[in-house]
């Protein structure tokens, strides 16, 4: 009888998983080690951090950001990066979803002993996603959510006085975004969406240490490490277009696992195309956030909501901009930084 095959990496222990990324049969310890080492290599080859950086981990309570928080802590200790780590969570105000997932974040915060800041759409904008969906319906809700989240993360980062935000976007997310930008013919976004780190003048850096980590391996890592995360999808999730890209990508991956990385590399080859002149930056007349127009994207959307015209705000690309009005009482006016790229309506990491 043939003896059980040994782990492809250590050649001794019994293999228990087949790595989705490479097909290698590996033991649990080698899987942890190779996964963590690949993230470390991604971080060091892109020189993402320098000693003393204050880094906020965007923590949603989902699998990606929960594994990211765990791995960032492991690597910071193992390789002595010298980072000060924080957890930063955004409460979109989605009953039955974010309220539950934030409980996972709070438990992880206890376990890892990292400081946690939670900011809500309600306190920042005076609107919850529940209220927005009530007005705009379920078609364009993710556009509102994406614009608001991006600005909320910047405001949270400013409040924590951090230099850098890391998010749990994984290789599958990035490959999906590449496909969506190709299907929409959005070459400018195609050129940007594979960047591991984005930053404009004076702005906070945002980066994606899981750029090359496969979603399936993140799930395996969370499972074998018994991490505490919330696995339910957002109840307002159907971003139909991304859904199609996701299904297509999973089919490609089933036929050839390297498809995910190959698509990211294809997207990277387009980066030269992204030399479109950026509009001069000014500050939003309503909230003070950096903006290339009188009103920032979030305030433009807020005004449309306040006028009961939320449905129109995302549909008409050539819509007339609304004039600035004084900020309402509930609008926090934390000084803001310039952002490097326009907000992308990207699904929740
Ligand atoms: Fe917001 Fe994500 Fe839910 Fe869309 S799927 S409403 S972006 S949390
Ligand atoms: Zn604004």
Task: Indicate which atom in ligand 1 lies nearest the CA of residue 98.
Answer: 8
Task: Indicate which atom in ligand 1 lies nearest the CA of residue 348.
Answer: 2
d(CA 59, CA 144): 19
Strands 164-166 and 17-18: unpaired
Please give the full DSSP string across 54-101, using - where no structure is assigned.
EEEEE--SSHHHHHHHHHHHHHHHHTT---EEEEEEEE---TTTHHHH
- What spacing in Å lies between the alpha carbon of 143 and ligand 1's midpoint? 8
User: What pLDDT sits at residue 251?
Assistant: 96
Q: What are the pLDDT tens digits along the chain (349 aa)?
A: 444 589 999 999 999 999 999 999 999 999 999 999 999 999 999 999 999 999 999 999 999 999 999 999 999 999 999 999 999 999 999 998 888 899 999 999 999 999 999 999 999 999 999 999 999 988 888 889 999 999 999 999 999 999 899 999 999 999 999 999 998 888 888 888 999 998 865 578 999 999 999 999 999 999 999 999 998 888 888 667 788 899 999 999 999 999 999 999 999 987 654 455 556 778 899 998 888 889 999 999 999 999 887 666 665 333 333 333 333 333 333 333 333 333 333 333 3
User: What pLDDT sits at residue 34?
Assistant: 97
d(CA 71, CA 224): 13
Nearest one of 79, 155, 167, 150 to 123, comparing CA atoms: 155
- What spacing in Å lies between the alpha carbon of 204 and ligand 2's midpoint? 17
- What spacing in Å lies between the alpha carbon of 238 and ligand 1's midpoint? 8
d(CA 179, CA 242): 9
User: What pLDDT sits at residue 127?
Assistant: 95
Ligand 1 neighbours (beta carbon < 6 A): 92, 129, 141-142, 145-146, 234, 236-237, 347-348
Q: Which ligand is nearest to the CA of 62?
A: 1
Q: Is 18 helix (H, G, I), strand (E, B) or coil?
A: strand
Secondary-structure breakdown of the chain: helix, strand, coil percentages, each rounded to the nearest 5: 45, 10, 45
Nearest one of 104, 211, 199 to 167, comparing CA atoms: 211
- In CATH, the architecture of 51-276 is 3-Layer(aba) Sandwich (3.40)
User: What pLDDT sits at residue 272?
Assistant: 56
User: What pLDDT sits at residue 60?
Assistant: 93
- What spacing in Å lies between the alpha carbon of 243 and ligand 1's midpoint? 13
Residue numbers in the known binding site for ATP are 58-60, 64, 90, 168, 173
């Amino acid at each position: 009888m043939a003896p059980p095959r040994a782990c492809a990496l250590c050649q001794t222990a019994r293999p228990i998983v087949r790595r989705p990324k490479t097909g290698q049969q590996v033991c649990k310890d080698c899987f942890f080690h190779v996964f963590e080492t690949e993230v470390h290599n991604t971080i060091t080859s892109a020189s993402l951090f320098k000693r003393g950086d204050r880094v906020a981990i965007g923590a949603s309570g989902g699998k990606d950001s929960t594994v990211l928080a765990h791995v960032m802590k492991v690597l910071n200790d193992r390789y002595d990066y010298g980072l000060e780590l924080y957890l930063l969570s955004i409460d979109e105000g989605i009953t039955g979803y974010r309220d539950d997932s934030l409980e996972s974040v709070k438990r992880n915060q206890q376990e890892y002993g990292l400081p946690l800041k939670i900011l809500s759409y309600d306190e920042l904008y005076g609107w919850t996603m529940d209220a927005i969906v009530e007005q705009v319906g379920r078609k364009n809700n993710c556009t509102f959510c994406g614009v608001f989240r991006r600005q909320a993360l910047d405001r949270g980062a400013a409040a924590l006085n951090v230099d850098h935000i890391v998010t749990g976007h994984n290789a599958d997310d990035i490959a999906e975004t590449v496909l969506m930008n190709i299907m929409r013919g959005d070459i400018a976004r195609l050129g940007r969406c594979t960047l591991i780190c984005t930053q404009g003048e004076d702005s906070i850096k945002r980066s994606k240490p899981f750029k090359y980590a496969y979603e399936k391996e993140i799930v395996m890592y969370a499972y074998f490490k018994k991490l505490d995360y919330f696995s339910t999808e957002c109840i307002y999730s159907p971003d139909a277009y991304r859904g199609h890209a996701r299904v297509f990508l999973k089919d490609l991956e089933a036929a050839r696992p390297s498809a995910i990385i190959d698509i990211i590399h294809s997207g990277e080859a387009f980066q030269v195309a992204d030399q479109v002149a950026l509009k001069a930056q000014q500050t939003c007349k309503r909230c003070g956030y950096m903006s290339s127009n009188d009103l920032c994207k979030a305030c433009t959307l807020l005004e449309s909501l306040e006028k009961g015209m939320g449905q129109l705000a995302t549909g008409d690309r050539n819509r007339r901009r609304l004039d600035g009005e004084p900020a309402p009482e509930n609008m926090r006016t934390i000084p803001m930084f310039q952002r490097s790229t326009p907000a992308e309506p990207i699904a929740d990491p």
